Structure 1
Amino acid sequence: MKPFTNKLHLIYILLLALLPAAGFAQGPKPSAKITGSIITAENKPVEFATVSLLRAKDSSVVKGTLGTDKGTYTLNNIVPGNYVVKATAVGYTKGVSKTIAVNAPATFTVPAISVRASAKTLKTVNIQTAKPLLERKLDRMVMNVENSALAAGNSAMDILERAPGISIDKDDNISLNGKNGVTVMINDKLTYLSSAQLATLLRSTDGNNIATIELITNPSAKYDASGNSGIINIKLKKNRQVGTSGTLTAGAGYGIFWKDNESLSLNHKEGKLNIYTNISHNDENRENNINIKRVVQQSAGSTYFDQNSRLISPNHYNNYRVGADYDLSKKNTIGFVVNGYTNFESDSSSSATRIGKTIAVGDSSLKSNSQSLQHYTNFAANMNDRWQIDTLGQELSIDLDYSRFNNEVNANYLNSIYFANGSLKQAEYLRNQSPSIINIRTAKADYTYPFSKTLKLEAGAKFSNVKTDNNLLAELRNASGNYVNDPSRTNHFIYQEKIDAGYVNLGKSYKNTSFQLGVRAEYTTSNGYLVNSPPVVKHYLDFFPSVFINHSINKKNDIGFSYSRRIDRPDYGSLNPFVFYLDKYTYQQGNPFLKPQYTHALEVDYTWNKTINVALNYSHTTDVINQIILTDTVKKASYQTNLNLQVQNSYSMNFSSPYTIAKWWTGNANVNMFYNKFESNGLLGANLNDGSFAYQARATQNLTFIKGYRIEVTGVYRSARTNGIFNMKEQYTADAGVSHSFANKRANIKLNMSDIFNTRRNNVTSMYQSVNLEVHQKNESRVTRLTFTYSFGNNKIKARQHQTGADAEKSRVGGGN
């Protein structure tokens, strides 16, 4: 309750400062200064007390201020007269000084004002409340990660996988409510990354730095129109507090391999300047086991492949974030943020593939070994200005952003083919160098104008310019043992995209009903250029309307309706036509001819007593960007790429509710049911018309029956489902953690284990036309972590938080993977 009360004190002081003093309106007069201190009965300073200067004759308020954390205060520009000083503070009775006679332009020191502890108030202050893990707000579901035991030592990727309605497949593609095409933002900024690079970023982000995860299924026109299944907004902690404060985190984990994580956050605020920084490091060695069974059908017969692969990935992640804000005035604040990462990954893969005309007997085999060294760096800078034009709510904010990604991948492959008797038939040595550079520039402005307390206009514009440069040098070792260029795979791909956007939102509220109407326009120009091939140029203008209506039936029943049109442009990696090999018969290739997909989304939600929420969703998507496996019957190879399917219709219902079993036992339940149907004529020579019903359930228990300790247990079940031509098997897992705070709640230690029973697996099958495969994947998922966190310094008053404007483009960065 102290932060809230301090805010009330600040508001009170501002109001005091606005009260006119008759004596001040007569022109300049000699002025004096009054100083003093507020102490307790034990002679200790009272932090941040509210101090008022009163006229002695009538007790009218002349001036007000806020005491320091040392208990001192200063009142400037005091005209001659007789005064008394009154002091109030949370948890204490008020204190009043003796009369002070100010009769000269000098400094007058008031004897220390003593206040006594208020037993009644102290009882109120000692009451503590914890935010629920899940909160339903007007247009989004919020997952409160901060202070959660399960967040200890886990990465952002680990935590996101536990969010309601979220699924992450074997290739790190993220879906929400059963639909792909999610836009991921960090602090309201798009990440512009391919799925593989986004996974790298999320794994390198320490979960202890996350405050909340917001799930926005139907965003307004203010947001970029990308994301057919909505937006996931990960908000990081940002402690902007008076004085100097910080948080130190250190942790270690063990699954199959050891892991560690360290981070340091510092913040300093003095006067008009606020400076903050965060650095983190993470070492994580992961294992991934994949078994792929597939059949290649030819006119001469079928060939069976049974492949077992083991991938070991030692990774080293280093993130940094530095920023500052400066108050030019009470209404205008400028700031900058610089952040980035330097990540090193080393992948070692070995696979053995049995090849034959029957499943039981192989007539040859392939053994593949690869070594891949990957270096990813990112630098991003933001400059921002927020101007509160008046006290009615008129506001203008401007953001300028620049981001640069450098991805360097060097890989060596050895493919050895053996006869059935085990003798070597052929050995093939390959190596790739694939540097990739992505530059992103954006500028945006947002303006808010309140016509009245119930009618508000929002408008804004955004301009973005993205250029990716992907170069692939592929080499093959010849008979002399020298590496020479492989012209069939070497290539150079350049992609540039410009988007000009503007939006208008109009919101109106009545006693029990509020609505918002908006429209966003985006004009896109893209140019994909593959060396020695004609460029792929596209121009298109789109409008994206949105409607939100909320109505309070009574104090306990609320209902809402929303509609929006969305777009998903292909991420830059999916457009890159380069070939990336797993082995001789398995590879991945981009598609530069992918078209954007468009979605109409409807949602109706009902909330009872501000806690239990039920949401019904329907969406219709055209030109659906979907992952698919194609077969090269000549090479007997299968490769993964993306195609546009014609239509996807999705229906879903999401239910969430907190509950209390006992004073020491609370929890939250979430059930998401959905039906996805895909239709596409002429897909691989046939018409696709397939859909399935699926659901996922999640329950989280919070137990506090041991004083000073908090225990969390989470169980998740995902049923089997269909996605395009793929069928995913069921999944289930359980996590648990315990946390304990000590040292006056500045220190916290957390122990948690993910996937306790080691059941988290990805099992996928596909039987469509020429595609006949079965994939079984098991990642290292059972990990035990111990994390220690210590907060130091002053943590009394928080200042402004700011998010930048270039996050939408970053989520689509491609290349390097």
Structure 2
Amino acid sequence: MKTKILLLATSLLTASLFTPAQAQFPMGGGTAQPKALPGTAGDQSPKGTARITGSVVDSTQAKAIEFASIALYNKTTGKAVDGTVADDKGKFALTKLVAGDYRVLITFVGFRNKTIESLTLANGQSLDVGTIKLSSSTKTLDEVTVTGQAAMIEEKVDRLVYNADKDITAKGGDATDILRKVPLLTVDLDGNVSLRGSQNIRVLINNKPSTIIASSVADALKQIPADQIKTVEVITSPSAKYDAEGSGGIINIITKKNSLQGLNLNVDSGVGNRGSLLSLNGGYRKGKAGFTLGGFGRAMYNTITKTSLEQTSVVGGVSTLTRQTGDGDSRGLFGQYNLGFDYDLAKNQSLTAGVRYGVRNMISQQDLVTRLFTNGTPGSVSNRNVESKNLSGTVDMNLDYLHTFKPQQEWSISTLYSRNDLTNNFDADLLNGSEALTGRQRNLNKNVNQEFTLQTDYQTPIKKNQLIEFGAKGIFREVNSDYQYLLAGPTGGFTTENNGTLGSLLYHQNIAAGYTSYTYTTKKRYTLKGGLRYEHTFIDASTKEDGPIGIGNYGVLVPSLNASKTIKGTTVKLAYNRRIQRPGLQQLNPNFNAANPQNITIGNPALRPELTNNFELGLSKTIKKTFVNATFFGRVTNNAITQIREPSDTLVGAIVTTYQNIGRQYTYGTNTFANVAITSKINVGVFLNFFYTSLTGQTTGVDGLSQELTNTGFNLSGGSFASAQFKNGWGAQAFGFMQGTQVQLQGTQGGFGFYTVGVKKEFANKKGSVGLAAENFLTSRFNIHTVLNSPQFNQVNDVYLYNRGVRVTFTYKIGKMTMDAPRKKAKSVNNDDVKSDGAGQAPAAGGGGTPRQ
């Protein structure tokens, strides 16, 4: 819709150059009836009875060109005497014309002008000039679009948009490199994403979900090359059309697409000391049909990590001190391959289909040395060499249909099938102090997460200032996790004897949802948008060991309200919504992960959802060349899902991490950013996130006694960026970010910093580019210092990340392309429902279309 409005405005402006200034253009797609100004030929002569009619279409697809400008000239004097614009069917009519000789000029942005010469009219004659075909014009597009550097950050009515395609340092990186630069977001050095301090967010890719995120959003984002991302949208107050999932909000990553006719191929590559990338993306469009085929592979290597851990635990009156050091490295291969198809069934009907396959192979190795002290007396010393494998393959298939009846009135049906096969294993060799092999351990964890979604949406305008939307949706989800914990001696096979375990989790979750939303705009430009959504969740869960898990079905009513008004150049926005956060796969998975036996993780399949009420007040204003935005927010969460750590009652000195619905969490704060356009080619920006958090909940210790835990504190983060475009295709950019200490229920997690600079040179008329980017080049390592404590344990953990990097990038575009006429695509499915865990687990996916429920 925004594109149509822009094109209409451009056409009207163009038409005004050739028509009387008082010409009145009907806004409903009807034929214009222009009125002549004094001094024009039309004013000097009486109106006649002749007329000229015709239609305007795209020469490549024979599609009507809406709002094309038609100007009529007197051939003798050369003056413009009349004009109009084409309706939504491309048709036009010039009426009440006097007899004479004329020529007609037809124009539209993105197309070459066309002139019809030597038209002779007699009184009473009706002349049909037939179908006029316009061909696309790359030159016209360049003249229109290349007017300066677009803003890196934009604020829209319901979201903040980061224009990642303007980021020249992104080449060769992945999505986490982009998300680090988006105001309101925090991405730690492991790739875990937070929005205003909350990891309970929904991540979408082109408005679609995927089961791939059921394992880890941090790993999933590594599959997306940064230079394929067009924009990142941060939606802090989603309307009722979105799923109720994601208490912190929604992040929508829009990848680059094109609407080009013909055949094209883009080659993107990069190589650096810590990673390499090769991407090939092509497309072909002819007439009503279009195909896209793409694939990329990314390798990560030379990623070194060092750790230092010191923790004290008290169990049964015995105090155990654990001191541990670790040296490790990781490597990974990531790939994604997609095939897309779209077809215009009719002028107002379209069909979109796609298949995407993603692969993630992450292997890490770590050597751990552990020393135990019991009541101050030195005890055992053990060495442990661990290799962990995180392997996954994901398939997403979608089929979407859209029927547009008239502007803003449309009906859609969307389907999505998604399956993720995830393997999460580790093998450990146990050695004594003299490096002799004493035993082996193996953990095998196979997960299959699949879901099918069917939804339908309808929207229609009511009068000119009202819009109503409603829809329904069903999600059918199944999670299956089989796990084994096997033991072996220095030689021989693995068995489940001597405390080895095996088990499985079968988790069915079906969701039925319906929503309605109403938008009203007053004459004084107050905009109100209210909605109501109801979701009912049906759960059937069981484990092999304990049988059925007593989790009842539940329903939730989710209201939302958004209001905005511009007062003397300042835009004020108010918002309230309620959100639900269901537990994610890693939080549910009862697999006993003891890759590090001093820090064990186990899921809790009995988790209940959490509910959050969000409040927001936003102010924004443009002061000369500076855009300033300040948002004040509050978030109250009941039944909050939080990591809980307690000493193990079976493994000496070990701390066990699991998940519980602890109670209540309060967060209040502000996000502020400013963007300064120093010139049309130089932008500078700064942003600051500051909020207060209070967490309170009940936990149960190893002694079975209930404990109340409370922790409060402030969280601060911020950063700045600068970008510049120079002559002859040169550009430069710099970015820096600092994250302060973050409050957790049982302590604090240390902060970190990140910075990068880059330069780029375009060549061959912008068909190709080469670039150089460097990150963290002034520091050899970062230290994340985390302190956790409770009445029963204290833990100090230092993680040292060596992520100094440099990379060279190269891109090239092949193919002859012409611009396609604007067209609406079928809308797609959004499943906004998987909670992020402490390891960054949160939902995401691929596809296209306008965000839906």
Where does residue 773 of structure 1 map in the other structure? 795
Alignment CA distance shift 1:682-1:305 (3 Å) = closer
For the 8 Å contact 1:248–1:790, the answer to whether it is kept is: yes
Is residue 742 of structure 2 the alignment partner of residue 729 of structure 1? no
Cα distance in 1 for partners of 2:709, 2:840 equals: 32
Structure 1 residue 542 corresponds to structure 2 residue 566? no
- 1:94–1:217 Cα change, 3 Å: same
Distance 1:157 1:254 in 2: 18
Structure 2 CA distance, aligned partners of 1:689 and 1:464?
37
> For 1:35 and 1:546, how far apart are their aligned partners in 2?
42
Distance in 1, matches of 2:659 and 2:775, equals: 32
Counterpart of 2:178 in 1: which secondary structure? helix
| Aligned residue number for residue 571 of structure 2 | 558
Match of 2:439 in 1: 428
Helix, strand or coil at the partner of 1:200? helix
**Contact map agreement 2:259 2:819 (CA 8 A) in 1:** no
Determine if the alignment matches structure 1 residue 622 to structure 2 residue 643.
no
Say if 1:382 and 1:400, in contact at 8 Å, map to a contact too.
yes
In the alignment, structure 1 residue 448 sits paired with structure 2 residue 459: yes
Match of 2:48 in 1: none
Task: Verify the 8 A CA contact 1:170 1:762 in the aligned structure 2.
Answer: no
Shift of 1:462: 0.8
| Higher alpha-carbon deviation: 621-630 or 405-414 | 405-414
Contact 1:191 1:808 in 2 (8 A): no
Contact 1:314 1:347 in 2 (8 A): yes
The aligned counterpart of 1:147 is 166
The equivalent residue for 1:474 is: 485
8 Å contact from structure 1 (residues 763, 776) kept in 2: yes
Residues 201-253 of structure 1: CA deviation (Å, up to 9, x unaligned): 11011111111111111111111111111111111112122222332101111
Q: Structure 1 regions of 5+ residues with no counterpart?
A: 22-30, 38-47, 67-80, 102-107
In structure 2, the residue matched to 1:343 is 360
Q: Which of 503, 510, 515 pairs up with 2:515?
A: 503
1:273 corresponding residue in structure 2:
289
Provide the residue aligned with 2:469 in structure 1. 458
Partner of 1:27: none
Contact 1:222 1:503 in 2 (8 A): yes
Residue in 2 that maps onto 1:686? 707
Give the Cα separation in 2 of the matches to 1:117 and 1:526: 55
- Measure, in 2, the Cα distance between the counterparts of 1:551 and 1:389: 30
Would the aligned equivalents of 2:334 and 2:361 in 1 still touch at CA under 8 Å?
Answer: yes
Contact 1:53 1:83 in 2 (8 A): no
Tell me the SS of whatever aligns to 2:169.
helix
Distance 1:113 1:363, change over 3 A: closer
1:166 lines up with 2:185 in the alignment: yes
Q: Matches of 1:522 and 1:557 in 2, distance apart?
A: 36
Residue 535 of structure 1 aligns to which amino acid in structure 2? P
Query: Equivalent residue of 1:335, what SS?
Result: strand
Aligned partners of 1:440 and 1:809 also within 8 Å = no
Cα deviation, residue 681, structure 1 = 3.8
**C-alpha distance in 1 between matches for 2:134 and 2:350:** 36
**What one-letter code is carried by the residue in structure 2 that aligns with 1:308?**
T
Retained in 2: the 8 A contact 1:193–1:810? no
Distance 1:427 1:710, change over 3 A: same
The C-alpha deviation readout for 1:289-317, integer Å capped at 9, x for no partner, is: 32221112244542221222233222111
Counterpart residue number, 1:70? none
**Cα distance in 1, alignment partners of residues 319 and 516 from structure 2:** 59
Please give the alpha-carbon distance, in whole angstroms, between the structure 1 residues aligned to 2:313 and 2:283. 60
Task: Supply the distance in 2 between the matched residues of 1:378 and 1:652 (Cα, whole angstroms).
Answer: 38
Shift of residue 194, structure 1, vs aligned partner: 5.2
2:426 matched to which residue of 1? 411
Change in Cα spacing, 1:513 to 1:806, as seen in structure 2 (3 Å) is closer
- Cα deviation digits, residues 26-78 of structure 1 (max 9, x gap): xxxxx9999999xxxxxxxxxx9979798999998999899xxxxxxxxxxxx
CA contact (8 A) 1:192 1:812 kept: no
Letter in 1 for 2:414: D
Give the structure-1-normalised TM-score: 0.85
Equivalent pair of 2:215/2:585 in contact (CA under 8 Å)? no
**Contact kept in structure 1, 2:402 and 2:826, CA below 8 Å:** no
Give the 3 Å change call, closer, same or farther, for CA 270–497 of structure 1 in structure 2.
same
Q: Which moved more, 1:165-174 or 1:521-530?
A: 165-174
Q: What is residue 720 of structure 2 aligned with on the other side?
A: 699
**Contact 1:433/1:474, CA 8 A, preserved across alignment:** yes
Aligned to 1:512: 525
Taking a change above 3 Å as real, the CA distance of residues 52 and 141 of structure 1, as seen in their structure-2 partners, is closer
2:397 aligned with 1:381, yes or no? yes
Give the one of 609, 625, 640 matched to 1:596.
609
Q: How many residues align structurally?
A: 767
* Structure 1 equivalent of residue 730 of structure 2: 709
- With 490-499 and 368-377 compared, the bigger mean Cα shift is at 368-377
Residue 755 of structure 1 deviates from its aligned partner by 2.3
Q: CA deviation at 1:789?
A: 1.6
SS at match of 1:199: helix
Distance 1:61 1:780, change over 3 A: same
Post-superposition CA distance 1:324-346 (Å, at most 9, x none)? 11111111111111112123232
Matched, 1:97 2:109: no
Matches within 5 A, 1:237-386: 237-255=256-274, 259-285=275-301, 286-299=303-316, 301-357=318-374, 362-386=378-402
Which residue of structure 1 aligns with residue 126 of structure 2? none
**Contact 2:401 / 2:827 at 8 angstroms: preserved in 1?**
no
Q: Unaligned stretches of 5+ in structure 2?
A: 16-24, 34-52, 60-65, 89-99, 122-128, 842-853
Shift of 1:273: 1.0
Q: 1:582 to 1:553 in 2, by over 3 A?
A: same
Give 3-state SS (helix, strand or coil) of 2:218's partner: helix
Measured against aligned partners, the alpha-carbon deviations of 1:742-797 in whole angstroms (never above 9, x if no partner) come to: 21112122221222333543221112121311111133422212211222331533
Conserved? CA contact 1:564–1:600, under 8 Å = yes
From 669, 685, 693, the equivalent of 1:652 is 669
Segment of structure 1 superposing worse, 264-273 or 668-677:
264-273
Separation in 1 of the partners of 2:32 and 2:250? Answer: 48
Name the structure 2 match of 1:184. 203
SS in structure 2 opposite 1:251? strand
Counterparts of 2:308 and 2:338, CA distance in 1: 40
**Deviation string, structure 1 residues 120-160 (Cα, Å, up to 9, x no partner):** x9996485222222111112111110131122111012222
* Secondary structure in 1 matching 2:247: coil
Q: Distance in 1 between matches of 2:374 and 2:425?
A: 35
Corresponding residue SS for 1:363:
strand
Query: Paired residue for 2:592, among 571, 579, 591?
Result: 579
CA contact (8 A) 2:686 2:721 kept: yes
Q: For residues 152 and 592 of structure 2, what CA distance do their matches in structure 1 show?
A: 43
Tell me the CA shift for residue 188 of structure 1. 1.3
Query: Does the aligned pair in 1 maintain the 2:168–2:760 contact within 8 Å?
Result: yes
8 A Cα contact 2:105 2:113, kept in partner? no
Q: Which residue, 379, 387, 399 being the options, matches 2:414?
A: 399
When structure 1 is superposed on structure 2, of 264-273 and 349-358 the one drifting more is: 349-358
Q: Distance in 2 between matches of 1:36 and 1:373?
A: 53
Residue of 758, 772, 796 corresponding to 2:819:
796
Looking at structure 2, the residues matched to 355 and 754 of structure 1 have their Cα atoms a distance apart, in angstroms, of 39
Q: Distance in 1 between matches of 2:679 and 2:130?
A: 55
SS in 1 for 2:166: coil
Give the superposition deviation at 1:609: 2.5
- In structure 1, which of residues 659, 668, 675 is the aligned counterpart of residue 692 of structure 2? 675
Q: Secondary structure at the match of 1:590?
A: coil
1:525 Cα deviation (Å)?
1.0
The counterpart of 2:496, out of the listed 468, 485, 496, is 485
Instruction: Say which SS state the counterpart of residue 434 (structure 1) adopts.
Output: strand
